[in-house]
């Protein structure tokens, strides 16, 4: 059978979603952002919510997320995306609002905003990309940098005595009664991507069903910041990140009752 | 038993040659080209097209969404 | 005639927000302005008009909530006092850079640092020169009475939407805490979805239908040529404000030999000082800037060639005095410009101001 006989519209099984803007992303080769952007675009398309969606972009590598996913976007100040999203969703409760944040944005400078937004149970989806490093500014230590990990500000590896412990902020978030669904996923192979997409879908559905905050961490790579090839970065993540940041659901239930009303 | 054939169409200019598709392909279909595209990347190509089953794993993991997959029963 | 009430300045801000069709208030407690959010929480406008009121975890969060809601075309506001406004400076810069309309209120207390909770006007520079990073300006309204606290909420929103720019009500603990008779505005309904589309549909992030391109609200532009073009557009806007939006009041300036320039609480003191000085045979007038940006430069320049001097009366070490000097400089005539001020939360007495005028000019 000739290849030309296979490449026919009726045989098409996988292509770029219409919600993903047809342009080359600025991300480095192999960057997890691209994969997560893609599956978010696919879900917004498949779930028919493009017209109802407002995204909030962070400061970090994903600052230009609005160039890639064809929905209305707001670009927030560093770490403030959950507050910005709160403003949107409180005054527009019928909208599907999501934030897209990295680990420096969410777990360091924006720690207060994310904790309080999740604690209030703001009806929104949080997509949290954790690659243990500040990618955009050149690979500095993040709050999530694991023990011994080399970054440009921990050239000898993260030293707990000097830099403190890596922060498992998703575990903190899972304690908050405002969150309905908290999970940790990855996107390094096809199985992981498909699972991550199912989690994102559940998170989006929870928001559409007004169940409070859904929080999805994606343990990710930064091959440039880690100074590895993309394939080696995936292996390194599996061997070093996953033991510290184990994958799976941390919480999956409907929103717990607000204690103040009891 | 019906045999399945697949094909991967690579958007040559969109590919950044990260090699993740090559890594995840279960049938060793893909490889990075010795040639580079206009941006200097060794783009992905079907080295072994007969082996492709159109499983879409490469497409699913591609961070740059530059792979389109076709699949047919023969 | 609207409804007459005896109310505190801070309470009036809350009442006026509800009545002018405000969609949301996001705030964080700080003295001396906490009555604004307290009044709103007691009034529960979400039941009455649908207005949202939320106590945020910080001023940083409040202003960013305002950013998010404003970027969907909603009429939203926040309020704080000096240290809180400093925390908001980043967010206000982003709002100005993204060209969003919003209203914020600074009920000023003495600084620097934690300072005092007593009234002050020492945030003048921060208010009229931008306050955060980058070249931007806020429209600054300075009420001198509880009535103006009411009036400037509606006016602030009107100007904010006209120019797609943050508007600031710059007041202080004295006016915020004082009770006066006020004629409240009539209720205006909140904008409907259709009205929001009509007024702000071009830029607001209300969800992207197939019929239009995505709306992106951002202050980011990596192309320097485009960023400079953005800056030029902002500057044009500020120039237009200077041409069209200057508001001020003059009292007994026609035959005046000396002009006191004062805003807000200081202007109320100076009104009495003018009376006292006139009784003593000194021909004094008062110019009260109502908009601090745009500043009434032209009016000051016009008066310059007819008077012997200006006295800037401020509850600060002397900030507005610099703008008066610039205005005088631009007039081509040369008269003395002096400053008298008290700091640290002290309001000068009318006699103190008259004495200062005599000491500096006579």
Element (H, E) at C230: helix C224-244
Mutant choice from A62, A68, A92 vs C, greatest count of C C-beta within 10 A:
A92
CB-CB neighbors (< 8 A) of A229 in chain B: 19
Domains of chain C as residue ranges with CATH: 4-183 (3.40.50.970), 248-361 (3.40.50.920)
Q: How far is A8 from chain B, CA to nearest CA, in Å?
A: 7
Q: What is the pLDDT of residue C1?
A: 80
Contact call for B and A: 3+ CB–CB distances under 8 Å: yes
Domain total of chain B:
1
A86 → closest Cβ in C58, C68, C214? C68
pLDDT-derived band at A1, boundaries 50, 70, 90? confident
Q: Does B62 touch chain A (CB under 8 A)?
A: yes
Whether the Cβ atoms of residue C324 and residue C301 lie closer than 8 Å to each other: no
Domain assignment present for residue A51? The answer is yes
A254 confidence band (pLDDT: 50, 70, 90): low
Domain ranges, residue A131? 26-249
A8 is a domain residue: no
Which of A26, A76, A87 is the mutation pick for testing C, counting most C CBs within 10 A? Answer: A87
Instruction: Scan residues 191-220 of C and list those with Cβ closer than 8 Å to A.
Output: 205-210, 214-220
- Asked, for residue A1, whether it belongs to a domain, the answer is no
B8-59, pLDDT tens digit by residue? 999 999 999 999 999 999 999 999 999 999 999 999 999 999 999 999 999 9
Q: Are A115 and C66 in contact (CB under 8 A)?
A: no
- In this prediction, residue B1 carries a pLDDT of 53
Residues from chain C contacting residue A19 (CB–CB below 8 Å):
none
Question: B74 to chain A: which residues are within 8 Å by CB?
Answer: 1
For residue A15, tell me if it sits in a domain.
no
Q: Report the alpha-carbon distance of residue A186 to residue A174 in Å, rounded.
A: 18
Number of domains in chain A: 1
The interface pTM score, or ipTM, of the predicted complex is 0.97
Question: What's the DSSP call for residue A258?
Answer: P
Structure tokens at B60: 């699913």
Question: Mean pLDDT over residues C69-97, rounded?
Answer: 98
Say if CB A56 and CB A81 are below 8 A apart: yes
Can you tell me whether residue A100 is helix, strand or coil? strand
State the CATH number of the domain containing residue B38. 3.30.70.20
**Smallest Cα distance from C54 to chain A, Å:** 9
User: What value, to the nearest 5°, has the Cα angle with vertex A83 and ends A204 and C219?
Assistant: 100
Domain holding A204: CATH number?
3.40.50.970
Q: What is the pLDDT of residues A204-224, one digit of tens each?
A: 999 999 999 999 999 999 999
What subunits touch chain A, counting only 3 or more CB pairs under 8 A? B, C
C13-62 per-position pLDDT tens digit? 999 999 999 999 999 999 999 999 999 999 999 999 999 999 999 999 99
Please report, for residues A29, A147, A246, B23, the alpha-carbon distance to residue A230 in angstroms, rounded to integers and kept in the order given.
Answer: 7, 21, 21, 10
Decide the pairing of beta strands C258-261 and C309-314. parallel
Q: Is the pLDDT score of B2 beyond 80? A: no
B65: domain range?
Answer: 4-73
B28: left (phi over 0), alpha (psi -120 to 50) or beta: left
Mean pLDDT of C155-178: 98
**Res B74: pLDDT:** 86
Interval A38-87: pLDDT, tens: 999 999 999 999 999 999 999 999 999 999 999 999 999 999 999 999 99
What's the sign of the alpha-carbon dihedral C36, C37, C41, C45? positive
| A38/B65 CB distance under 8 A | yes
| Residues on chain C touching A52 (C-beta within 8 angstroms) | 207
List CB contacts of C201: < 8 A, sequence separation 6 or more.
C73
């Amino acid at each position: 059978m000739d290849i030309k006989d296979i490449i026919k519209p009726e045989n098409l099984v996988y292509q770029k979603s219409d919600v993903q803007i047809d342009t080359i992303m600025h991300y480095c080769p192999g960057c997890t952002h691209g994969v997560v952007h893609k599956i978010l675009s696919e879900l917004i398309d498949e779930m028919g919510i493009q017209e109802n969606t407002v995204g909030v972009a962070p400061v970090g590598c994903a600052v230009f997320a609005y160039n890639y996913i064809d929905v209305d976007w707001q670009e927030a100040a560093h770490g403030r995306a959950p507050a910005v999203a709160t403003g949107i969703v409180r005054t527009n409760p019928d909208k599907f609002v999501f934030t897209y944040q990295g680990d420096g944005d969410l777990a360091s400078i924006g720690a207060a905003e994310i904790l309080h937004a999740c604690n209030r149970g703001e009806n929104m989806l949080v997509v949290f990309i954790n690659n243990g490093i500040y990618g955009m500014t050149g690979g500095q230590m993040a709050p999530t940098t694991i023990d011994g990990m080399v970054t440009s500000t921990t050239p000898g590896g993260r030293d707990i005595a000097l830099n403190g412990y890596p922060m498992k902020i998703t575990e903190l978030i899972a304690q908050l009664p405002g969150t309905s669904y908290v999970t940790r996923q990855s996107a390094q192979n096809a199985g992981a991507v498909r699972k991550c997409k199912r989690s994102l879908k559940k998170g989006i559905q929870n928001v559409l069903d007004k169940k409070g905050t859904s929080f999805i961490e994606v343990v990710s790579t930064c091959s440039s910041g880690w100074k590895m090839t993309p394939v080696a970065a995936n292996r390194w993540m599996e061997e070093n990140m996953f033991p510290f940041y184990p994958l799976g659901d941390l919480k999956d239930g409907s929103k717990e009752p607000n204690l103040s009303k009891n | 038993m019906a045999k399945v054939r697949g094909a991967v169409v690579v958007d040559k200019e969109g590919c950044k040659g990260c090699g993740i598709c090559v890594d995840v392909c279960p049938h060793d279909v893909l490889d990075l080209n010795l040639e580079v595209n206009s941006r200097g990347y060794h783009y992905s190509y079907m080295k072994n097209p007969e082996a492709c089953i159109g499983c879409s794993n490469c497409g699913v993991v591609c961070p740059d969404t530059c792979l389109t997959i076709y699949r047919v029963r023969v | 005639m609207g409804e007459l009430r005896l109310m505190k300045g801070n309470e009036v801000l809350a009442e006026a927000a509800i009545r002018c069709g405000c969609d949301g208030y996001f705030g964080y407690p700080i003295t001396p302005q906490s009555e604004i959010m307290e009044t709103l929480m007691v009034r529960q406008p979400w039941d009455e008009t649908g207005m949202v009121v939320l106590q945020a975890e910080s001023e940083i969060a409040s202003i960013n909530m305002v950013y998010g809601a404003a970027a969907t075309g909603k009429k939203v506001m926040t309020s704080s006092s000096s240290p809180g406004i400093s925390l908001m400076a980043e967010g206000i810069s982003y709002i100005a850079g993204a060209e969003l309309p919003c209203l914020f209120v600074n009920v000023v207390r003495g600084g620097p640092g934690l300072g005092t909770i007593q009234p002050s006007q020492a945030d003048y520079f921060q208010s009229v020169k931008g306050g955060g990073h980058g070249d931007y300006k806020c429209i600054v309204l300075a009420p001198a009475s509880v009535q103006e606290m009411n009036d400037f909420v509606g006016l602030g929103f009107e100007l904010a939407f006209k120019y797609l720019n943050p508007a600031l009500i710059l007041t202080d603990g004295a006016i915020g805490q004082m009770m006066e008779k006020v004629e409240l505005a009539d209720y205006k309904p909140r904008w409907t979805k259709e009205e929001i589309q009509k007024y702000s549909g071009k830029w607001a992030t209300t969800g992207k239908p197939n019929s239009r391109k995505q709306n992106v609200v951002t202050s980011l532009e990596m192309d320097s040529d485009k960023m400079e073009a953005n800056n030029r557009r902002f500057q044009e806007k500020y120039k237009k404000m200077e041409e069209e939006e200057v508001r001020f009041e003059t009292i007994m300036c026609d035959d005046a030999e000396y002009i006191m320039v004062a805003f807000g609480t200081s202007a109320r003191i100076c009104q009495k000082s003018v009376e006292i000085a006139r009784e003593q045979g000194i021909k004094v007038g008062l110019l009260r800037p109502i908009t601090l940006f745009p500043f009434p430069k032209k009016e000051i320049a016009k008066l310059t060639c007819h008077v012997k001097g200006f006295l800037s009366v401020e509850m600060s070490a002397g900030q507005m005095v610099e703008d008066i000097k610039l205005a005088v400089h631009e007039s081509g005539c040369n008269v003395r410009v002096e400053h008298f001020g008290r700091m640290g939360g002290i309001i000068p007495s009318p006699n103190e101001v008259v004495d200062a005028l005599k000491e500096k000019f006579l």
